Structures are given as C-alpha cells and as structure tokens.
Structure 1
C-alpha cells in the first residue's frame, strides 16, 4: 500500500508545563533542563495523550491532553520526597496506570530502589495501589510489586504479574499466604482480580501472548546461600495446555540459550534472541513439541537488540538494531511502508519510532528525532493519512541551531578501527579546536547517532566532541565486548586515549586544549585515562564515576546479585591496576567530579575517596555533591549547575 502523508497543524501548541523561551544565549539553562516529555502514551480511543513531565522542586506531574482541542490538565503530582513517576499508560479512556519509583533504606542502612503500580482517574481521584498492600506482618520486602503483561482492549482490566509476600498469621485470620510471583487479571477501578497463575517462588517473570494467555515463564537460579548464580531457565506452554516444559537454559554468563522476549499468538511462536556467529540474532521458536527455531533476522556487524512492537497487545512488527544509526527491519509490510513514508515526509527527523497506538491501531503516536532535533511527537491518522505534531520533547531548544553529528572511525594503537561520533561546533570551525573526548557509561552500552544534550551543549560552547564506542561497548558482538570494560580495561581505556591522539593527528583538536568528560563508566574512563596517559588530556570531568573496582564489588555484597557482580568485575591484578583512586600520584591534569548523594549505582563514597586521594597526592581536585539525587541527577537545577561549572572548569584548565 502506498502511503500519502498530509501535514496538519499542531494540535497541542503548548501546555502549562512547557517552559517559556529562556534568556537568549543562556545555553546551560536550555540544555540542562530535563525533557518536558519523560514518558507518553495514547488513550485506547486515540483521543487523548498522557505524559509525565518534570514539575517544580524535583516533583513530577502526570498530564493529559485532549488531541482535538489541545486542552490539558494535571492528573497528579508526585513530590520528590515520595519518589518519581517512571511511566503512565491507559487501562481505559478515563483511567491511567502509573509506575512510581522510589528509594529507601532497609535493615537500617541498605539503600534500595523499589517500584509500585497505582491506578488513577483523570481527575486525580479513585487512586488504587495494584500491588499487595503493605503490612508490618510481611515476612519479606518486595522491591517491585509487579508489571503489566497485557493492556487489554481498554475496558479498565489489565493482565498483571504480581508479587506476593507471605505474612505472619499470629493474631489475624486474613494473613497473606501466597508467596512468589503470580499473574492476575485485575480490574484497575475496583481491584477485583482473577488468578491466572498461582504465586510461584521460582518464577522471575512471565510473557503473555497479547490475548490473555501466559505462554512463557522464566526462573533465575540461586545458590544455597540465596545468591543469584546468573543462570536462567525458561519454560513454555503449548497452546491449550497448563503444563510447563523447558524452553531453554542459559549458563551463568547468560549465554548459550534462546532468550524469549515476545510471544506471537498468530504463529504460535516466541521471538527469542541467541548468539549466531558471535552476534545476537532474532529467531522465531515454535511453541510446540518441536521447538523448531528459524532465524528471522540477523546483521553481519551488530547485534539485534530488540523487537519493534505496536498496539496495546504489544504485537511484534519488526526487529531493531544499531549500525551507525538505529534501524528497524519490519516484518509487517504496511508498517514498513509507513515508516519509509514518514521518513520522507520528515526529512529533518529521520529517526522514526512508533510509540503507541489506539486499540484499533487507526491512530498512531510517533516520535521523530535526529541529531539536530531532540524529538517531536506526532499523531498519525491512518484513515485520513494526516500527520499532526502534538508535543516537543525539549521546547527550550526549539530556537537553537544544533550541531550535526557525524559517524567516524579512528585507528587504535593496535591498528583496529574504532567507531565513534564526532560533533563539531555550530560556528563551522573544524580545525585546531578545544576538544572533548566523551566516553559513554555502562560499560555494557554504546553511543548512537542522534541528539545528545551533553555533546550538543559543549558544541554550542565551541568544543568539538568525540564519543567513542571503545572495545568493551555492547552491540557489536562478543569479540568487541571482550571481557567487559572492567576486566579488559586496558583495551577499553586504550581505545579512549587513542581517540584523543587521533583528534590531534587529524588537526581537529588543539593538543593544548584537549580534555575528557564522562558519566558513570565514562567518568571512570576519564579518570583512568589520567593514569595511563597523564600528559594527553589537560582536564578531566567525571560524573558519578567508578574509582575503585574493589569498592564497586563491595557495594553489592549485601544483595542477591553479589556473585554476578563479583564475576563481572573479576579478581586479580587488574583490580589494583585498573582503579584510578589507587594511582592518584600519576595524575597531572586537574579533576572535577560530580556525584549524587543517593546514587545506588555507584556510591558517592567512590568520588569522595578519589577526591581524598588526589588531594593527599597534592593534585588539583574539586568534588560537587548534589544532595538527594541519584545516579542520573534528575534535576534541572543540578544539571544546569553542572554544565556551568564544567564549562568554566574546562576553559580555565586548558587556558581558553
């Protein structure tokens, strides 16, 4: 079918939460502001959208907007002390289900993240917690009370995987006896529920077929001490059966198994990923006695990282992967044709994603982005073939000319070509520039082509920015990942320092004005680069960095994943050699660090120890702690402050 895309006027021109145009030239305010749209969904009837947006004083607000009129209003606001909203979606045209994420301390001093699901009417009333009610009789703690497996047709009933914690029965006749993860068909208005899967202590998750049938279950394995081993066993049900049979088993490294990620009722099969020729490929596996597996998509250079879904039932329509840019191969020809037509209709926003759909899939919510556009949400009417812009992801950047991002490859010291992304200043300068190498976090992650608020901010300030996908990055197959960026830190950091040398050799970077900045593992890389190449970078900025590998292992000791973390980081000489806090004497460049006091990914103690070691060694070090913030520093004021301090520090350090 040939699509004819007709443009339409914006249907939601503004909302009460859209920021006013900032003072011209105040780039830190523009780029440091959080996304206006943190999460968004389309109502079952296709007439409204709901979105989560940052509010004042670190709060978060759930908004709804009428697509026809553009009228919007706040449904509820969550104070930062309570937590924040991860997402909201529609159980009915007049009711939402939202996930609240919070942090707390258990057993006195152990910080943990936990999530809770609640349902709410659009007027903010009839709030219902979907998980088990809290009780002082509970014999355990549930960090996640459940997740939605199937959103149904929009009548207010959803399929929910729900965690049950048994209770002490002393003094009561209504103590909860169920124990483990079960599945319920639950009415989000009344909480009336029908059990579809009894609570199972062995179950770690379920996958439905989108039609209310549970077809996949998996169980993470534990040792005799209650620690996760890293092994997982997957089970399946044949059509019409209530019995479980083994689907696949993964080893302690999560390999050598088909990993199911979706079920297709039409083909009576599961979509699953598995390594093929060193890279992850996508298969369809028949859910019958044969378990016949057929490879449906693979790429010679990169991993398949997910499937593309559409609609309230999560129907699989394609596979997703990233080469230089993110791509989708569509199994559904109609959606493939539509994606191609939209790309042509929106030439400045060539990354097209299907975000949500009405129950009948006649209305589609679409996100279009590029390197020079942070993102615009559109509503596409499949009947009239009209496309209407509804919201901007970052309104403060609407009038800012952003810098183009170019995929490049540079030669590492062993001759290997390393992929990276180069962003040059918007003023057109290309040689002899102040330059930042910006390694990504993870390390099991990678950078992609598109909009990056950190890189774009520094490009506005006149810096060239190079983002390397060093060896140890994910997405390029097992050979590139090696033993991960901690155990193979020499190779990963070697690729990062090679990036700096290449920038100088190409004449892009002025060697006197070359610096490095990174977040999380990227912060670790920025610091460890000072250990191995102290003369290369003239300044280092590290945000929430790992600074000591032994400390990082120790942070997980009271959690069930302690053994997995310990294996991932490893043991041996690299623990000492790869910990920058133990080699402060090697540093020559000044260091600026930022950390949130409530960071549960990397404890702020690591930055404090790095700062202490540098000062003791007589090195220049500054540490900024943001009270009450976590690893992501989800606060506009803090991010603005971080950008201003970083820019001033870098300029002063390299002599600009």
Structure 2
C-alpha cells in the first residue's frame, strides 16, 4: 500500500524519524540515554471516522509537533507546532477538529512558568484558535490566534479527560478552585465551543471533584466530597435534577460503595464494586431501585478490575482490562477474529486494538508491547489485512538485549501471599547482584508486565531486579490492600525483606550483594530497610523519599507541600498513622530520627522544587545521617519536582546509580 512508504517517509522528513527503520543490534550495553531520553513517538489517535490519525512526534533538538495523516492518500499535515513549547495532550473534537495543550519539556517544575492552555484547529490547519490562557502570556506560535487575552478562559481550565460524543464543535473543560497548592475545594464543569470560545457552566450539586459523561456525551454523574465522604450524584434526565446514588468513605471505602466505570451505548451504567468479596468486579446499576446487580458481569481471576469498556458505532464490543498485563476480552465475533489475526502477525507482543468512534474506514490502531519491546503504534487495515508501523516510543532499544520480566509470588512471614515482579538479565545465571526496587505511593499498584525503563536499565547492567507488590498495594484484592494500613516501616517493610530472602533462597540473588532502592514511599522503604535489616542490604538508594511521617503532616515553614489537607485529616490517620494515637509508632518508623543507625553506603537525590516530598525531607536526613556515616552521596536537582522530568537529569541520576551500584555490589562474580 502507498501508506507504507509515503506516510512513513513524510513523517520521517517532518520529524526526523530516521530511527523508524530497524537499527543494527549493538554489541555493548545500551547507552543510558536510550532508556531515559524523551520518547521519539508519544501518541496516536484515530479520528471518529477512522479516516485520519493525529500523531505527536518529537526529534532530537526539536519541539514535539502534532500532525494529521489522511489515511486515504497518506498526506501528512502539521497542525500544531510552537516555537517555544511542545505539544502536550490532544484529542479529536469531531472528524474535522482537534484540541491540544502546550507544555515545555525543556524546563523542570521549578522553572515552569505557564499553564497548559488550550488550542483548537481543523485537521487541515485552518480555523486555529487559542481558547485558554497560559497565565497571561500566550505562547508564540506559527499561527496567530487574533484573540485578545481578555477573551480567553482562565489559565486553570483543563480538558475533562473523557471523550465527548465527537459529533459537534464542543468539548467539556474543568475549572478546579484551588485555595492553595494541592487543595481543591470543588471542580466546575463547562461546555466549550472550540470555534467561538463560548462557554456555558454545568450546575454543581455540591463540592464536585469528578465528572462523568453519559453515552450521548452529556454530563450525567458527579462525585462530591465533604469531610472525607464521597457522594455519587446522578443528573436524572426525567427531572433534570441531581439525586444521590451512594456515599462512602473517600479513602477506606464502605459497604455498598461503588465506582462508576462508564455508560454503555444503551445508557446502562456499569460500575466497579467489591460486593463483599476480596476482588472488585464489574456490575450494572439500576437507577429505578438505586441498587447494584448482585451477579458480576466481569470478573478477573486474581485481580481487582481495572479497565474500560470498548464501544464503537453505538455497540459494546469488548472490555479492556489489566491482569498481569493489559488485555482484551471481546464480546464481538468479528473483533475476536481480528484480534486473532493480529496476534498471529505479532506473536511476541501484547496487541491492543483501538477502534474509531463511528468507523467509516478500515483502519484500526494497534499498540504492541512486551517486556522486551517498548510500545509501538501500528495501523491495521481490516480489508487488506496489512499491518504498518506508525511509530515507536524508543526505536533504539534492541529487544535482543532486554531482560525478561516475570510475575512471581512468595509468602510473607505471617503467611500473606505477596506478588512481585522479577526482571532477570538476558542469559542470567544464579547468585546475581540484585536491586530491590520499591514502588512509591504506596497505596497504588506498582507495576504491570511490560517494558520499564528503570528495571530494564538495571538489568542491562547485569542486576536482577525484584519489585514487590507489598501489602498496601492495590489491584490484587482488598485483603492485600487492607493489610497495609498503618504498616509503614512495619509489616510493609517485612514484606520487602521477605521477598529479598525468598530471592536469595531461590538462588537468584547473591546474599552479599543486595541493594534496596526507590522513590517517594520507595525511598522511605529503602531507608527503613537499611535500619530494620542491616545485614540484608549492603547499600541503599533514595530519591524523593519521605524521611519522616510527621514531616508529611506538619511540613516546613520555607517550603510548600501539595498534600491536600483533607488527606491529612481523613486519609492519613487511617492509612498511614494518627499523629496523636500512633505517636510512638511514628517515632519508631522515622528514618530521620533513626538516621544514626544507617551505616551502609547511601545515595540520596531530591528535587529542589518538590511539593509532594519537599526538600527538607532530604536535607534534614542528610545532615543527620552523615554525622555517623561517611559513605553518603547527595544530589539536588534544583529545578526538579517529585521525580526527574528532564532527560538530562534522568540520565545524570541513573549514571550515578550505575557507578554507585558498581562500587558497592558490582556485577563481577
């Protein structure tokens, strides 16, 4: 087909995508930059008809741009490009029009000056319009909006993040009211005309935090929050009034609570509910009786439901879900056959199919990945059965050098089963040096099966990598999640140590060469691991890690925290620890107060502009620990926030990690 040559060559010429062609496999370990540079290709969306695809692509020393490919004739048109910014998020409004935001990938959080703004343009580049301010200074663009700043919506206006019906010139935007960083009183919802800029507000029934559109693209549900209680409210189309469906504790949940998933094509509301079981499942909701169906429609063995409905042409075709990896259960026979055909063509990857809203063309977007392959976007023609590469996120990565990842399970000392991800270097033997990589959160799911830059980089340097889904982690059932409440530095920490000992007993890890590492909560766990199990871990790495729970509560006079006061008042006392009732426990589980006990080599890295775990967590701990430990390295990235946004800092940090690990646990036998 012509698309296979013409469109790819056009994309390569516009964006410098010479790397779309397969590169020869290098013999040396891949460079750090191959793992931690910004992606070359970072997004593709089919238009509602499937006749066009919008793509965001970057190239070295160039700003990310937005282009539209007309699939019938392979014509490529750049429709979004800033001289002083990159393309941020983007979405189709309808088959003729696209909205997008701006971002600046060249500066860290501390140097960022402007909000994302919002822009709209036709797919042929016409009728360009700026809709939302960027804090009073519109970005310089290659197109002129001709719009006065006074006519723009305020800077704190954002896309809703849900698809509309994509059959008009309207989108929905949100306007959060924030009295302070991290604090949200309520979120207004507005309907915005992308051609005229005219906006109308949707009435709130209270302090709304989240909104959901129905199958027609109209606002139908909102979740209000007051004093730690979430209430789901429904805008009844018969009365045009809001009414309560259910309320529950925002942070710990409660019996009868559920979470809205989506409205089906016929208006049925699908919800996620636990129904007294360990794993959450998908049910339908009856508006007449305000009840959730008893029998689940979708149940994932071993996992809480996490996913979305797949709909096209007003028909429910299947369900996208997350188990160990992303997957799809198709309800439609035609889609089952198409999935089987594509899986036959791509036998070594997970292949996720995305359909247009109202298809009028044979194109389907395919996202393919595995533990060895970073994500690649392809187009499948359902008529010709031809599959064509559209773009790869990290085309320099050679799969033959990547490490395999496996989901394993082990028993904690109290008998609780703990899932964990084990990544082993290619051709690995036994008794390897190992990095125990602890996820942040902590009340999230750490990983799913697939290619991950951090674990793959470490494995490429010869290290086994163990990533425990310790108690408190989500996605593996309520029992595992609930067991982690108020267990920072206690049983949560024991789970990580038990996983380390399991890997040693299995012969995977060398008992004398194990290092514990992590960011955010993972940094906290790295420090507590060195304290609780000094004979188990030979070194530690902490980036952006919490060093004292009371510091999370109380903050510091010179730094602003973005932790919501509501979380501190209603969430942290139940899940982390109460400052009064658990005061002694918080002292015993404070790395800051127990810093003198850490004698192992330690690498610390913090962002000077971090508002989630402000810099004093690092500086106070560094001052305390270095008094009795000469082997402490300190890095501060002044412009960074909670994690490393800039490639230069990611590359610098992981280069330091490589040297630190090589010095302390090495890869030589």
TM over 0.5: yes
The alpha-carbon distance between structure 1 residues 609 and 285, as it changes in their structure 2 partners (threshold 3 A), is same
- Counting matched residue pairs gives 615
Matched, 1:624 2:635: yes
Structure 2: gaps spanning 5 or more residues? 137-147, 179-185, 555-560
The alpha-carbon distance between structure 1 residues 33 and 315, as it changes in their structure 2 partners (threshold 3 A), is farther
8 Å contact 1:19–1:396 — kept in the other structure? no
312-321 or 243-252, which deviates more: 312-321
The alpha-carbon distance between structure 1 residues 511 and 408, as it changes in their structure 2 partners (threshold 3 A), is same
The alpha-carbon distance between structure 1 residues 483 and 117, as it changes in their structure 2 partners (threshold 3 A), is farther
The alpha-carbon distance between structure 1 residues 419 and 204, as it changes in their structure 2 partners (threshold 3 A), is closer
Q: Could you tell me how far 1:374 is from its partner in structure 2?
A: 0.7
Which of 570, 573, 576 in structure 2 is aligned with 1:569?
Answer: 576
TM-score normalised over the length of structure 1: 0.83
Structure with more of its chain in strand, by fraction: 1
* Distance in 1 of aligned mates of 2:292 and 2:211: 21
Q: Tell me, what secondary structure is at the counterpart of 1:650? A: helix
1:147 corresponds to which residue?
160
The alpha-carbon distance between structure 1 residues 558 and 492, as it changes in their structure 2 partners (threshold 3 A), is closer
Matched, 1:394 2:394: yes
2:81 corresponds to which residue?
76
**TM-superposition CA deviations, 1:310-338 (whole Å, max 9, x none):** 4598967315232x333333344443443
* Distance in 2 of aligned mates of 1:198 and 1:150: 20
8 Å contact 1:556–1:565 — kept in the other structure? no
1:3 corresponds to which residue?
none
Q: Could you tell me how far 1:629 is from its partner in structure 2?
A: 2.3
* Distance in 2 of aligned mates of 1:347 and 1:93: 33
Q: Tell me, what secondary structure is at the counterpart of 2:280? A: strand
Q: Could you tell me how far 1:202 is from its partner in structure 2?
A: 3.3
8 Å contact 1:487–1:574 — kept in the other structure? no
Q: Could you tell me how far 1:77 is from its partner in structure 2?
A: 3.4
351-360 or 573-582, which deviates more: 351-360
Q: Tell me, what secondary structure is at the counterpart of 1:514? A: strand
Matched, 1:508 2:508: yes
2:131 corresponds to which residue?
129
Residue pairs, 1:241-252, within 5 angstroms? 241-252=239-250
Residue pairs, 1:223-622, within 5 angstroms? 229-252=227-250, 253-256=252-255, 257-266=257-266, 268-276=267-275, 277-289=277-289, 291=291, 293-294=293-294, 295-310=296-311, 317-318=318-319, 320-322=321-323, 324-349=324-349, 351-355=350-354, 357=356, 359-360=358-359, 362-398=362-398, 401-426=401-426, 428-446=427-445, 447-482=447-482, 484=484, 487-554=487-554, 555-556=561-562, 559=565, 561-567=567-573, 568-571=575-578, 572=582, 573-622=584-633
1:216 corresponds to which residue?
221
240-249 or 644-653, which deviates more: 240-249
* Distance in 1 of aligned mates of 2:606 and 2:38: 17
The alpha-carbon distance between structure 1 residues 247 and 200, as it changes in their structure 2 partners (threshold 3 A), is closer
Q: Could you tell me how far 1:406 is from its partner in structure 2?
A: 2.0
* Distance in 1 of aligned mates of 2:113 and 2:576: 21
Structure 1: gaps spanning 5 or more residues? 1-5, 104-108, 167-178, 222-228
The alpha-carbon distance between structure 1 residues 88 and 17, as it changes in their structure 2 partners (threshold 3 A), is farther
8 Å contact 1:53–1:61 — kept in the other structure? yes
8 Å contact 1:472–1:482 — kept in the other structure? yes
**TM-superposition CA deviations, 1:109-152 (whole Å, max 9, x none):** 9x999654332455497232258997999xx9984545154433
Q: Tell me, what secondary structure is at the counterpart of 2:82? A: strand
* Distance in 2 of aligned mates of 1:625 and 1:640: 14
* Distance in 1 of aligned mates of 2:68 and 2:635: 37
Q: Could you tell me how far 1:291 is from its partner in structure 2?
A: 4.2
* Distance in 2 of aligned mates of 1:418 and 1:165: 40
Residue pairs, 1:20-39, within 5 angstroms? 25=28, 26-39=30-43
* Cα root mean square deviation, aligned: 3.7
TM-score normalised over the length of structure 2: 0.82
2:141 corresponds to which residue?
none
8 Å contact 1:553–1:565 — kept in the other structure? no
**TM-superposition CA deviations, 1:608-634 (whole Å, max 9, x none):** 222222112334211212232232412
Q: Could you tell me how far 1:397 is from its partner in structure 2?
A: 0.7
1:225 corresponds to which residue?
none
